[in-house]
Every structure is written in structure tokens, then in C-alpha cells.
Amino acid sequence: MAAGAALRAAKQTLRKEIKQRVAALSDEEKTRQSMVVSRKLFQHPKYVSSQRVAVFLSMNDEVHTGEIIKDMFKRGKSCFIPRYERSNSHMDMLQLSSVQDMESLPLTSWNIRQPADDDQSREEALAAGGLDLILMPGLGFDKAGNRLGRGRGYYDTYLERCIRHPKGKPYTIALSFKEQLCQEIPTDDNDVLIDEVLYEGDL
């Protein structure tokens, strides 16, 4: 039990440090790095070949995903976005039909857009053909593929569901500012490794 408490404390300390580093970035710098990361993604063989892609709608302290979503529709990909449940760690990935569809979604108390709870009309990715690729958010990452989330466990739980789907686990790419990279992220057995982290710099 003591080990679990120590791990939680280490993660909380690291979350605070990373938040301060990202908060120090200007909006211009966040936009610039986001464009660099987006361009890297657009040339990535896994992105190019993937048809069914899940992407997060970015908050202010995350790599901006607006251009990525536009690119997905331009290329005719199926685009899925998260709907988080506040009361637990359950998340679904629901299909978006267009950029206009995204812009018309209601805002949550976290100030991000997501389909309303009573919106039953959208396909959930795992209810049909699964996913080829998930673009992952997070607070921090290391080069070994460890991810520090916000502590709610949404993505770890969702990836476990993906693993049980007939299609299997999709490829996962995290989108990161340089300031979110860490030497080492403290992890436990529930943390799911990411296949790749995209950021500005040499990969």
C-alpha cells in the first residue's frame, strides 16, 4: 500500500512540474509546436494508412488538434472523439461527421466539446470496426512510451477495451509539446505503454 501511495505522490509532483512548464509557454509557441507535430503526423506511415482514427479535442495545455481533424476529413478518414463520463473512468469514442459537426458540439464544464450524454445517434468505435490508431493526450511522456495522464484513467481503461475487441489494440501515438517530455514517468501495472511519442525534435 505504501508503494502505491508513494507512486501517486510522485505522479502528483510531476503533474505540477509539467503544468508549470506548459503554462509558461506563450500561445504563439503552443501554436507553432502544434503545427510542427501536426506536419510530422501527416507524413507518418501509420497515420497515412489508418482509416479509423480517434483524436482528442485539445484543451489549452495540449497540442492543438484542430488542423489534424480537418486533415482527417480531407483524407476521408473516419474520425472518432472522446465522450468522458464525469462520474467514473468510462469513455467512449464517438464518430464525428464533419468539422462543422465538431464546432456545434456542446461545451462541458472542462471547457471541451463533446457529444451530449443523450446523443445516441453516433457510432461508438468499438461497437463497429474498432480503431486503427488513437492519438493520445496526456500531461507528460517519456521516450520509453510511458504516459502521465490527469489521473482519471480514461485512456488506460479504454485501451483495455480495445485489446478485447476482435480488431485488437490500435497503434497509439501521443502528441506532445517538448516541455511535456520527462526523463522518466513513474508507472504501475495499470499504465498502458504508448507506441510512439511525436514532438518537435529528433525522433
| CA distances in angstroms from 62 to 79, 121, 151, listed in the order given | 19, 28, 16
- Asked whether 63 and 70 are in contact (CB, 8 A), the reply is no
78 belongs to a structural domain: yes
Q: Tell whether 11 is in a known binding site.
A: yes
CATH number, domain of 100, equals: 3.40.50.10420
- Range of the structural domain that residue 135 is part of: 2-198
- Is residue 141 pLDDT above 80, yes or no? yes
- Is residue 84 pLDDT above 50, yes or no? yes
167 belongs to a structural domain: yes
Q: Tell whether 154 is in a known binding site.
A: yes
Q: Tell whether 168 is in a known binding site.
A: no
103 belongs to a structural domain: yes
**Per-residue pLDDT reduced to its tens digit, 108-124:** 877 788 898 888 889 99
- Asked whether 89 and 154 are in contact (CB, 8 A), the reply is yes
Q: Tell whether 103 is in a known binding site.
A: no
The pTM of this model reads: 0.93
Q: Tell whether 62 is in a known binding site.
A: yes
Q: Tell whether 151 is in a known binding site.
A: yes
Q: Tell whether 149 is in a known binding site.
A: yes
| Confidence bin at 2 (pLDDT 50/70/90) | low
Give the pLDDT mean for 61-73.
97
| Confidence bin at 134 (pLDDT 50/70/90) | very high
- Is residue 140 pLDDT above 70, yes or no? yes
- Asked whether 176 and 166 are in contact (CB, 8 A), the reply is no
Give the pLDDT mean for 35-39.
98
| Confidence bin at 42 (pLDDT 50/70/90) | very high
At 189 the pLDDT is 73
173 belongs to a structural domain: yes
Domain count, the chain: 1
Instruction: Collapse the DSSP code of 81 into the 3-class scheme (helix H, G, I; strand E, B; otherwise coil) and give the result.
Output: strand
- Mean pLDDT of the chain, nearest integer: 92
Q: Tell whether 14 is in a known binding site.
A: yes
178 belongs to a structural domain: yes
| CA distances in angstroms from 8 to 25, 57, 137, 190, listed in the order given | 26, 26, 19, 13
- Is residue 93 pLDDT above 90, yes or no? yes
69 belongs to a structural domain: yes
203 belongs to a structural domain: no
Phi, psi of 19 (to 5 degrees): -60, -40
Q: Tell whether 158 is in a known binding site.
A: no
34 belongs to a structural domain: yes
- Is residue 203 pLDDT above 70, yes or no? no
Gap between the Cα atoms of 195 and 203, Å rounded: 13
| Confidence bin at 153 (pLDDT 50/70/90) | confident
Q: Tell whether 147 is in a known binding site.
A: yes
